[in-house]
Amino acid sequence: MSEGTAKKEEKPRKFQAIRGTRDLLPPETALWNRVEQTAHEVFSTFGFGEIRLPIFEPTELFARSIGAETDVVSKEMYTFSDPPEAAENLRRFFEAISEVGDKEPISSASNLGEKTTIGEKHLPELYRLQEEWKKSDLASLRPEATASVCRAYIEHSMQHWPQPVKLYYMGPMFRRERPQKGRYRQFYQIGAEVLEREVASGEWRVASREGKEVTSGPPQAGVASKELAKDAAVDAEVIEMVMTFFDRLELQGVQLDINSIGDRNCRPKYVELLRAELLKVKDRLGPDSQRRIETNPLRVLDSKVESEQGIIATLPHIADHLCEACAAHYAAVKHQLEMRGVMYRENWRLVRGLDYYMRTTFEITAKGLGSQNAVCGGGRYDGLVELLGGPPTKGIGFAIGEDRLILSLQESGKEVASGEWRVASKERKGVASGRHGVDVYIAWMGERAHATAIRAAKDLRKAGFSVELPPVELKFGKALGQADKLGAKYALILGDNEVSEGLWTLKTLADGSQQKLTEPQLLDFLRKL
Ligand code: ATP
Ligand code: MG
């Protein structure tokens, strides 16, 4: 610090939200609530129940499900080791030493001193604890929620619930990405998952009659095709649900892209073919795509680099390389979407950045978002629950980017379009001051009127009206000025005369008209509006 700055009086630090995070303020939060309320309503009509999940989970859960090599896990997660846990492990370690025969019992990490010697015989225990510590101690802020839902499915033995289990969630997710329009480090998702225990065996009927679980045995042809048809219907219904939700919100320019990325039978062969083809044109690709030829050739299809587009257009399409089952599944999904009147576009280049997807993948884009125009991504992930140590389970789900959804609604003026949004255009003046939706402003004058005003406010609020009650007496003109600033619809005028007559004056602020009403008449009048 230079002398000059040292002499200056130190100003208190001005705090700002961390880069990539932001405050959501009124009146915008009314739109967020409206969107979330609509999700609750629409999803429950499809038989989904809400699950609330922790914000942080073991790092390992995400590494294993999303894939340790993906950008999300390798670069973007907020990971920490919980200090109290670390101290607890240390304490247990030294306790362990004292148990195996050290003379100086050490009860806490804080009294570690030079006296402590770790004999060779303690080393195995040290390594064991170290391993345990490594595994148990790292936690990450969730970058997405599908892994958590699968963890919860296993933890609560949901395979014993009536199948399929249909869950939805909403809340913040965290990824350390470069912040820009529609891309934040704390962002919000609304998502849903359908999970179903796999009964791939021909003994299915026996199993259900005896109430026993059967998880092995080769699938019979009939059963297999029935399962395929069922999966396709589930996929289509999940997609139909998101589209219904967007439709209800009147989201503009909605475009659904679908694809099938095959399964573990056919995808590896296609990936090899793709890799071979990419190697032939390697020199003409940019550094990112060159790297992906080795790490994940599918992601090259996702490239937005202008000069690569012509080359990518000539690459083989996965649709031509799906195995019989995947091809049948994909055809059935398309048929099911058509039966539901869901418009889609096939996009053979649609792949997802998370490892767990198979067969159906889809993405939905909307208007007014620039290059971050994907508002929803989803797909099928059979096998993920099993990968996390659970029973063989099928899964399909999606995640909507709520921030982008809101942006798109705002861009198209949807936040003020419907009478249901409380922030209507007439109230814009109030909106500017951060308030909105005031129904009645009570202009009171005198102590007696104050008591009546407090009671009137209580009754009006109980009846569901938004009431503004000034905390101190204001001159009449000033009170009306405030009511106007807040965008109130009515001013209820309470002075000594009104109180003693029992007749209250209600002023309609839009046209300045006035009327005298008794208290019950006032409630009646407001209710009828
Ligand atoms: P993108 O290609 O835009 O990075 P993604 O494939 O990483 O999206 P998913 O992991 O599938 O996205 O998440 C589903 C949705 O969540 C996306 O379609 C998007 O709307 C939203 N989303 C993802 N990351 C962010 C972010 N950093 N900020 C805001 N929204 C996000
Ligand atoms: Mg991303």
Residue 174 CA to residue 184 CA, distance in Å, equals 8
Ligand 1 pocket: which of 21, 35, 76, 183 to mutate (most atoms within 8 A of CB):
183
Q: Under a CB-based contact definition with an 8 Å cutoff, are residues 374 and 363 in contact?
A: yes
Q: pLDDT digit string (tens) for 287-314?
A: 999 999 998 899 899 898 999 999 999 9
Ligand 1 pocket: which of 304, 347, 372, 402 to mutate (most atoms within 8 A of CB):
372
The residue whose CA has the least distance to atom 2 of ligand 1 is: 374
Residue 409 CA to residue 317 CA, distance in Å, equals 35
Q: Is the dihedral of CA 462, 465, 466, 471 positive or negative?
A: negative
**3-class SS of residue 364:** strand
Selection from 442, 419, 433, 432 nearest residue 489 by Cα: 442
What single DSSP character describes residue 296?
A: -
Q: Is the CB of 76 under 6 A from ligand 1?
A: no
- The tokens for 42 are 């629409």
Distance 260 CA to ligand 2 centre (A): 20
Render each residue's pLDDT in the chain as its tens digit; 529 residues.
444 555 567 889 999 999 999 999 999 999 999 999 999 999 999 999 999 999 999 999 999 999 888 889 989 999 988 665 665 665 676 666 665 554 444 443 444 444 445 666 677 777 776 666 665 578 999 999 999 999 999 999 999 999 999 999 999 999 999 999 999 999 999 999 999 999 865 444 433 444 444 444 455 677 788 899 999 999 999 999 999 999 999 999 999 999 999 998 999 999 999 999 999 999 999 999 999 999 889 989 989 899 999 999 999 999 999 999 999 999 999 999 999 999 999 999 998 767 788 999 999 999 999 988 999 999 999 999 999 999 999 999 999 999 999 999 999 987 653 334 443 333 333 333 344 579 999 999 999 999 999 999 999 999 999 999 999 999 999 999 999 999 999 999 999 999 999 999 999 999 999 999 999 999 999 998 7
Q: Is the dihedral of CA 262, 263, 264, 266 positive or negative?
A: negative
Can you give the pLDDT at residue 135? 58
Residue 348 CA to residue 111 CA, distance in Å, equals 63
Selection from 22, 20, 141 nearest residue 72 by Cα: 141
Looking at the CA of residue 398, tell me the nearest atom of ligand 1.
Answer: 14
**3-class SS of residue 150:** helix
Q: pLDDT digit string (tens) for 474-491?
A: 999 999 999 999 999 999
**3-class SS of residue 286:** coil
What average pLDDT does the chain have? 86
Can you give the pLDDT at residue 8? 63
**3-class SS of residue 389:** coil
Residues pairing with 467 in the sheet = 440
**3-class SS of residue 206:** helix
Selection from 66, 76, 75 nearest residue 146 by Cα: 66
Residue 494 CA to residue 450 CA, distance in Å, equals 8
pTM for the structure as a whole? 0.82
Residue 75 CA to residue 78 CA, distance in Å, equals 9
